[in-house]
């Protein structure tokens, strides 16, 4: 039954209504219980459903009913998927099948004419696997067409096969990188992991890569940049990949999921590089695409969209609008919770921010598995700063000790010991707030950090440092944060 609930959650309201109509048409008997079960699960009623449906305990009958409903849901989704498939792709498949029938019946002229139509359409789509089938058929019946230039067709087939293999190799590299990332002992090894995979599978940016492959390339690059907090370095690579994507704009509607994902990557990369105007441009395009195809992927990307909106509004001086977007979000995104906490903290709404911490009831191990250790790291830093502002001495000392045990080794691995230095200085401030105005303290801060150039420095690193800087300059945290991130 858990599987059925999970499937139902993926359905849009329109799809739910369509499924009910579809199921009513499919049911041959009036006493079928599948609609009743579906309606109970829509309302998230899961207790004693066998009794509610059959009027008495009936575990075996209920289990069979659940199986039938799950099969119906899968059948419905598959049917709808075929209906929404690109008409061009289906047309090519039909033309290939039709051409083979003609050729088998020795109707060679109409067979090759049909195959030519399929080739023209598949070439426009850049669909390498369909083109493989077309060239395979052309070559198979080449002896039946005296006007066919076998050498030319063979050459085109080989070129298409090369493009297909490039896509395939990138897919294998992507899988290997993801697998090794999960098992990597050292985050400093990420560059090596990516480099080795690209070398092993001979991966490079090329115009012949498919839409999906370009998305995978951009996605894995942005993940690496996120873990190493270095989006500046990967920007030229991401920009080159996006240029190739833009050249395939006529195919965007066919690859809606990947298209939205690419726009999300572009919005995030630009935000992390403090290019807020460019980031908002991609956010607007992302939201437009999320409305397409009956909002098929709207819920899937809603949390990402609101995360990006909230971040950009907040870092361009519109904290009110940022919090409005974040508080209205109902996607359940943990990133939203973290960013909302940070925004409230910057507005000195410490108790409200701490309430969010208190509502995060799972262990750090659970959150690390769910969203990664970097998320847990940020949450822990914000919590320590909140406890300092709320003057909770015992908890501050306890959290800092726990933080050092948990993150010291990982921070050294990624050469980011500045975080440990920052917390040490934060504790010095807490023990004696007045000393932050002294020259010795300011000099200690100045010599304790090895900063990157402003345009290269990570925006979140700057945000945490802004708290210390605001204390030394006796200015507001939000004002100091905006000043730091805009000074590029």
pLDDT tens-digit readout, 251-294? 677 778 888 999 999 999 999 999 999 999 999 999 999 998 88
How confident is the model at residue 207, as a pLDDT? Answer: 67
- Would the pLDDT of 17 be above 70? yes
Does one domain contain both 261 and 316?
yes
Which single residue is written with the structure tokens 């896509």?
167
How confident is the model at residue 389, as a pLDDT? Answer: 95
More confident call, 445 vs 28: 445
Per the domain annotation, does 177 fall within a domain?
Answer: no
Residue 384 contacts residue 396 (beta carbons within 8 Å): yes
Q: Which residues contact 161 (CB under 8 A, 6 or more apart)?
A: 128, 132
Residue 381 contacts residue 358 (beta carbons within 8 Å): no
**Where is 256: in which H helix or E strand?**
helix 256-272
Beta strands in 259-406 (DSSP E): none
More confident call, 81 vs 341: 341
Does one domain contain both 216 and 317?
yes
How confident is the model at residue 211, as a pLDDT? Answer: 74
Does one domain contain both 273 and 288?
yes
Residues of the domain holding 107 = 87-148
* Distance of alpha carbon 131 from alpha carbon 30, whole angstroms: 48
Per the domain annotation, does 284 fall within a domain?
Answer: yes
Q: Domains in the chain: how many in total?
A: 3
Domain boundary among 64, 84, 104: 84
3-state secondary structure of 146: coil
Does one domain contain both 121 and 141?
yes
Does one domain contain both 60 and 126?
no
Does one domain contain both 80 and 97?
no
Portion of the chain with pLDDT greater than 90, in percent: 38
- Segment 204-223 mean pLDDT: 76
- Would the pLDDT of 31 be above 70? no
How confident is the model at residue 487, as a pLDDT? Answer: 67
Per the domain annotation, does 217 fall within a domain?
Answer: yes
In sequence order, what DSSP letters do the residues of 71-95 get, joined into one string?
A: HHHHHHHHHHHHHHS-HHHHHHHHH
Does one domain contain both 80 and 94?
no
Does one domain contain both 20 and 113?
no
Per the domain annotation, does 126 fall within a domain?
Answer: yes
Per the domain annotation, does 235 fall within a domain?
Answer: yes
Per the domain annotation, does 422 fall within a domain?
Answer: no
* Distance of alpha carbon 298 from alpha carbon 67, whole angstroms: 28
Residue 122 contacts residue 131 (beta carbons within 8 Å): yes
Task: Kindly report the number of other CB atoms within 10 A of residue 82's CB atom.
Answer: 9
Per the domain annotation, does 334 fall within a domain?
Answer: no
Angle 299-300-306 (CA atoms, 0-180°, nearest 5)?
Answer: 70
How confident is the model at residue 82, as a pLDDT? Answer: 61
Q: Residue 384's closest CA among 400, 372, 373, 369?
A: 400
| The two three-digit tokens of residue 434, written as one number | 């007045």
* Distance of alpha carbon 422 from alpha carbon 428, whole angstroms: 10
How confident is the model at residue 452, as a pLDDT? Answer: 72
Domain boundary among 56, 84, 112: 84
Does one domain contain both 63 and 33?
yes
DSSP state, residue 433: G
Q: Which residues contact 324 (CB under 8 A, 6 or more apart)?
A: none
Chain centroid offset of residue 319 CA: 25
Residue 385 contacts residue 425 (beta carbons within 8 Å): no
In degrees and rounded to multiples of 5, residue 241 shows phi and psi of -65, -40
Domain boundary among 260, 294, 324: 324
Residue 97 contacts residue 133 (beta carbons within 8 Å): no
Which single residue is written with the structure tokens 């090794």?
180
Does one domain contain both 295 and 210?
yes
Q: Which residues contact 325 (CB under 8 A, 6 or more apart)?
A: 306, 309, 310, 313
- Would the pLDDT of 87 be above 70? no
How confident is the model at residue 445, as a pLDDT? Answer: 84
- In the predicted model, what is the mean pLDDT of the chain? 85
How confident is the model at residue 9, as a pLDDT? Answer: 80
Per the domain annotation, does 297 fall within a domain?
Answer: yes
- Would the pLDDT of 1 be above 70? no
Does one domain contain both 134 and 211?
no
- Would the pLDDT of 406 be above 60? yes
In sequence order, what DSSP letters do the residues of 176-230 get, joined into one string?
A: HHHHHHHH-S-GGGHHHHHHHHHHHTT----TTS-HHHHHHHHHHHHHHHHHHT-
Q: Provide the total of helices (H) and of strands (E) in the chain, helices listed first.
A: 26, 0
How confident is the model at residue 185, as a pLDDT? Answer: 53
- 418-445 burial by CB neighbour count: b if 16+ within 10 A, else e? bbbebbebbebbbeeeeebeeeebeeeb
- 153-173 burial by CB neighbour count: b if 16+ within 10 A, else e? beebbeebeebbebbebbbeb
How confident is the model at residue 61, as a pLDDT? Answer: 87
Residue 205 half-sphere exposure, CB side, CA atoms within 13 Å? 15
* Distance of alpha carbon 329 from alpha carbon 302, whole angstroms: 8
Does one domain contain both 225 and 120?
no
Q: Residue 416's closest CA among 467, 446, 466, 450?
A: 450
How confident is the model at residue 190, as a pLDDT? Answer: 63
Portion of the chain with pLDDT greater than 70, in percent: 93
């Amino acid at each position: 039954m858990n599987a059925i609930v999970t499937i139902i959650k993926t359905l849009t309201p329109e799809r739910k209504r369509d499924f009910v109509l579809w199921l009513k048409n499919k049911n041959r008997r009036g006493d079928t219980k599948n609609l009743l079960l579906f309606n109970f699960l829509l309302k998230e009623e899961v207790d004693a459903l066998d009794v509610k449906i059959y009027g008495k305990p009936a575990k075996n009958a209920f289990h069979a009913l659940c199986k039938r409903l799950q099969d119906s849901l899968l059948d419905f989704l598959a049917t709808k998927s075929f209906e929404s498939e690109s008409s061009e792709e289906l047309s090519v498949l039909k033309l290939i099948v039709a051409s083979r029938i003609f050729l088998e019946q020795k109707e060679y002229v109409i067979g090759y004419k049909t195959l030519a139509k399929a080739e023209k359409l598949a070439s426009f789509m850049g669909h390498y696997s369909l083109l493989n089938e077309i060239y395979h058929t052309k070559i198979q019946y080449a002896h039946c067409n005296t006007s066919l230039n076998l050498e030319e067709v063979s050459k085109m087939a080989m070129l298409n096969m090369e493009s297909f293999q490039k896509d395939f190799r990138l897919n294998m590299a992507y899988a290997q990188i993801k697998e090794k990332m999960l098992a990597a002992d050292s985050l400093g090894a990420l560059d090596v992991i990516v480099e080795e995979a690209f070398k092993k599978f001979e991966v490079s940016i090329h115009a012949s890569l498919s839409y999906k492959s370009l998305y995978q390339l951009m996605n894995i690059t942005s993940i690496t940049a996120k873990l190493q907090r270095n989006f500046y370095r990967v920007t030229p690579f991401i920009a080159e990949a996006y240029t190739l994507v833009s050249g395939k704009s006529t195919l965007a509607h066919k690859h809606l999921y990947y298209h939205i994902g690419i726009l999300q990557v572009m919005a995030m990369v630009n935000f992390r590089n403090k290019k807020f105007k460019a980031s908002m441009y991609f956010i607007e395009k992302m939201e437009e695409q999320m409305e397409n195809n009956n909002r098929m992927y709207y819920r899937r990307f809603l949390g990402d969209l609101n995360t990006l909106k909230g971040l950009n509004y907040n870092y361009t001086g519109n904290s009110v609008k940022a919090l409005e977007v974040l508080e209205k979000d109902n996607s359940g995104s943990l990133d939203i919770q973290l960013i909302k906490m940070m925004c409230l903290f910057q507005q000195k709404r410490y108790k409200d921010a701490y309430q969010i911490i208190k509502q995060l009831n799972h262990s750090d191990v659970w959150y690390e598995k769910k969203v990664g250790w970097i998320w847990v790291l940020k949450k822990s830093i914000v919590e320590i700063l909140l406890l300092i502002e709320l003057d909770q001495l015992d908890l501050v000392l306890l959290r800092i000790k726990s933080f050092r045990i948990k993150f010291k080794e990982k921070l050294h691995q990624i050469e980011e010991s500045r975080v440990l230095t920052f917390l040490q200085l934060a504790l010095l401030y807490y023990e004696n707030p007045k000393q932050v105005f002294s020259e010795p303290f300011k000099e200690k801060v100045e010599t304790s950090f090895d900063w990157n150039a402003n345009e290269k420095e990570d925006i979140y690193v700057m945000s945490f440092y802004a708290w210390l800087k605001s204390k030394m300059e006796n200015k507001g945290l939000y004002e100091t944060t905006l000043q730091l991130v805009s000074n590029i």
